[in-house]
Structures are given as structure tokens and as C-alpha cells.
Amino acid sequence: MSDLVIASQLDATFNQALRERLATLHPGIKVIEVPVGVPSDLPPEARILMGRPINVRGYQAPDTPPPGWPYGLRWIQLASSGIDFYPAWLFDGLPVTTARGSASDPIAEFALAAIFARNKHLPDIWVTDADWQFTALTPVKGQTLGIVGFGSIGTALAHKAQALGLRVVALRQSDTPFGVDGVEAARDIHHLFAESDHLVVAAPLTPDTRHLINADVLASAKPGLHLINIARGGLLDQEALLNALDHGPLGFASLDVTEPEPLPEGHRLYSHPKVRLSPHTSAISTRGGEAIADILLDNLQRFLTDQPLHNLADRTRGY
Ligand SMILES: NC(=O)c1ccc[n+]([C@@H]2O[C@H](COP(=O)([O-])OP(=O)(O)OC[C@H]3O[C@@H](n4cnc5c(N)ncnc54)[C@H](OP(=O)(O)O)[C@@H]3O)[C@@H](O)[C@H]2O)c1
């Protein structure tokens, strides 16, 4: 295949590493760099778009595609797992695949880091002088971890959590078995919140899941529950969260995602003593580019041999 061109919105380092891998696997396939944002005026020879999130940091793409869309494209591979950061028209017609799975282990590790930080009082426990105070730290082993959304991230997290001796209770959208021995199914989201010491949100943001975690659900929480959101800010009603932290029953929240992003200066979540915020960073890893390229190259092989693509996005379902 010598006339195939991938138009990439990813950075120069990713594109160069991809070219080097393609040189061995598929010599002749070219990678060209195109601007981020709405993919516009793509050269007609570009068959594949390696796309990155569009509707981020306050930007909202127009409701209609740019003139000439979809140019010569045959397939779009996204660099993200969620599909909520893209305009609807991107999914009309061409197959669109996601990077689902590329960051599941790093995100699961990040959720566990939040659990350890909470139980072991990190970073407050570190000393910088001779005034040593002793604090009893809470064992993670024997606690219950709730997981909302049991896809790629939920599965990776459940394996690691069970290895640490956590009991895992979970909830997913469908009746599909969890596929991880020992994971218990919650009756419903209220039951899940009532059972959990730590609860990780790992579901997609869709019209159905917006504010899935609202005042009503938070009122069901086990007293002291630690809520960890590594999915999307819009799944959580932030005002209801603040109220549940101030007046009970919630004990703590570790939020890697918020709505909007970033939160405006002075927002209460920045300074709340029971909140730890991180800047949507749980998926960003030193091996992230390689993992995304793995998915692109696996799908490229499928594309070239007319096999079904992996991780096809389902716009109607929302993930
Ligand atoms: N922080 C980040 O940078 C970052 C990175 C990657 C992903 N994410 C977010 O995390 C989400 C999950 O990622 P993933 O890779 O694990 O996705 P995934 O493999 O597609 O899994 C999504 C899971 O959510 C479940 N679900 C859907 N609607 C639900 C509902 N109403 N209640 C309970 N569960 C529901 C699905 O259930 P079924 O399997 O039964 O359909 C599925 O198990 C993504 O959509 C994305 O928004 C964030």
C-alpha cells in the first residue's frame, strides 16, 4: 500500500514515532500533520484521520460539518476513549473508532493512588521537622470499592483492587457478565453507594448519565464515602457534591475531571478541605502515545485487510 495517507492531529513526537513504526510494518504509508480542532480542508489523499478532542476548554464545534467534509476520508481513529468531546456529525457516515483501553491501566492506578492517598493521609503524613505526631492509618484491605461503569477501566481497576484485598461491587448498563471472578453486582446505584467505602466513576457521559450522581444518589452513600471521578465531570452534580461533603454523608472527593474544565478561578472545589482536584491527568502517561499508536496500528491492519475494526464508537449509545 503506497498511496495511503494518515492525517494526524496529534503532536510531532507522536507522528514521528508512528512513522518509524510504519516504516517497518507498512512502508509507503505516509503520516501528515494537520491542525487540531474541526478537521477542515484535509488534503484529498488523506484516507484516515487520527483525531483528537474538539469540544474542549470551552470550544464548541459548529453543528454542521465544514464544506467538503469528509473529503477523501474512509475511517477516523480517535485519540480518546470517550466520544462526548466531538460534534455529532463526525459520526455520520464514516466508521469512527476510539482509543478505549489505551489508558485503562494508568487510570486504574490513578484511582488506586487516590485511595491510598486518602487512607494513608498523603501528603500530610510526610514530616519536615522533628515534631512527629502519630496517626493511625486506614488499611485498604477489607474495604469495599464500588465501580460505576464496568468497561475497560472498570475491569482493569477491579483486577488490581481485588489483588489488594478490596471487595469489589459494580454496576454497568447492560446484563453483560463482569468477566472478573468475585465482582458483585449492585442492585442499583443507591445500593452501590450504600455499600462502598470508595466509589470510582468510570462510565461515559451521555444524555442518560448526565448528573447520574445527584443529590438523591449521594444521600444514599455510606457515611464517609470517598468518591473518585476519573470519567467526566458532567456525570456528577457538583453542587450536590459540595452539599453532601458539607452536610454529610460524603467524607471526601478526588476529582480528576470537572465541569467545566478548567474550573473558573475561585471555584469552591479548589479550596474545599474535603476535595482533591487534579487537572484531567489520570490518562496522560509516559507510554500514552505508544498505547494509542498500538490501537491505530491494530486497526490499520484490519482496515487494510477488510476486517472489522476494534473499538467502533456507537453514537446512539454514546460510547
Ligand atoms: N480521565 C480521562 O482522561 C479518561 C480517559 C479515558 C476514559 N475516560 C472516561 O471514562 C469512560 C469509561 O471509559 P472505558 O474505557 O472504561 O469505557 P467503556 O469500556 O466503553 O465502558 C463504559 C462502561 O460504562 C457502562 N455504562 C454506560 N452507561 C451506564 C450507566 N447509565 N450506568 C452504569 N454504567 C454505565 C457501560 O456498560 P455496558 O458495558 O454494560 O454497556 C460500560 O461498562 C469513558 O467514556 C470516558 O468518558 C476518561
Radius of gyration of the chain (CA): 21
Model pLDDT, residue 268: 98
The tens digit of pLDDT for each residue in 74-123 reads: 999 999 999 999 999 999 999 999 999 999 999 999 999 999 999 999 99
Are 251 and 108 found together in one domain? yes
> Quick one: pLDDT at residue 5?
98
| Domain membership flag for residue 222 | yes
pLDDT in tens, 262-317: 999 999 999 999 999 999 999 999 999 999 999 999 999 999 999 999 999 999 99
Ligand 1 contacts CB of residue 148 (under 6 A): yes
**Cα–Cα dist 10/16, whole Å:** 10
Residue 168 covered by a domain: yes
pLDDT at 137 over 70: yes
Determine contact, residues 298/100, Cβ cutoff 8 Å: no
Residues 75 and 223 in one domain: no
Cα(54)–Cα(76) distance, rounded to whole angstroms? 13
Q: Is 261 a catalytic residue?
A: yes
210-228 residue pLDDT tens? 999 999 999 999 999 999 9
Assess if residue 312 is contained within a domain. Answer: no
Band the pLDDT of 2: cuts 50, 70, 90: low
Burial status of residue 56 (CB atoms within 10 A of its CB: 0-12, 13-18, 19 or more)? middle
Contact 261, 231 (CB under 8 A): no
Under DSSP, is residue 281 helix (H, G, I), strand (E, B) or coil? coil
Confirm if 318 and 204 have CB atoms less than 8 A apart: yes
Task: Identify the pLDDT of residue 3.
Answer: 75
Per-residue pLDDT, 35: 97
Mutate to test the pocket of ligand 1, among 81, 193, 228, 278 (most ligand atoms within 8 A of CB): 81
> Considering the domain boundaries, does residue 58 fall inside one?
yes
Across the chain, what does the average pLDDT equal?
A: 97
- Its domain, for residue 177, covers 104-277
Which of 159, 191, 267, 280 does the annotation list as catalytic? 280
- Across the strands, what pairs with 8? 33, 50
Instruction: Provide the number of structural domains found in the chain.
Output: 2
Instruction: Please indicate, yes or no, if residue 311 is contained in any of the structural domains.
Output: no
Does residue 134 have a pLDDT over 70?
Answer: yes
Confirm whether 310 is a catalytic residue.
no
pTM (predicted TM-score) = 0.97
Same domain, 110 and 97: no
Q: Give backbone dihedrals phi and psi of 241, rounded to 5 degrees, phi first.
A: -60, -50
100 lines ligand 1 (CB under 6 A): yes
Kind plus residue range of the DSSP H or E element containing 239: helix 238-247
User: Is residue 315 classed exposed, middle or buried when 0-12, 13-18 and 19+ CB atoms within 10 A define those classes?
Assistant: middle
> 111 and 252 share a domain?
yes
Does residue 153 have its Cβ closer than 6 Å to ligand 1?
A: yes
Does residue 190 sit in the same domain as residue 219?
Answer: yes
Which residues, 6 or more positions from 230, have their beta carbon under 8 angstroms from its beta carbon?
107, 110, 111, 153, 200, 201, 202, 256, 257, 282, 283
Plot region of 259 (φ>0 → left; ψ -120 to 50 → alpha; else → beta): beta
Q: How far is the CA of 241 from the centre of ligand 1 (A)?
A: 21
Residue 37 neighbours by CB under 8 Å, 6+ apart: 9, 54, 59, 61
User: Is 262 in the same domain as 298?
Assistant: no
pLDDT at 36: 97
Q: Indicate whether 50 and 114 sit together in one domain.
A: no
Per-residue pLDDT at 1 exceeds 80 = no
Same domain for 73 and 110, yes or no, is: no
Q: Are residues 142 and 228 in the same domain?
A: yes
Q: Is the CB of 208 under 6 A from ligand 1?
A: yes
Confirm or reject: Cβ of 149 under 6 Å from ligand 1.
Answer: yes
- Backbone φ and ψ for 257, nearest 5 degrees, come out as -135, 145
Residue 252 placed within a domain: yes
- CATH number of the domain where residue 90 is located: 3.40.50.720
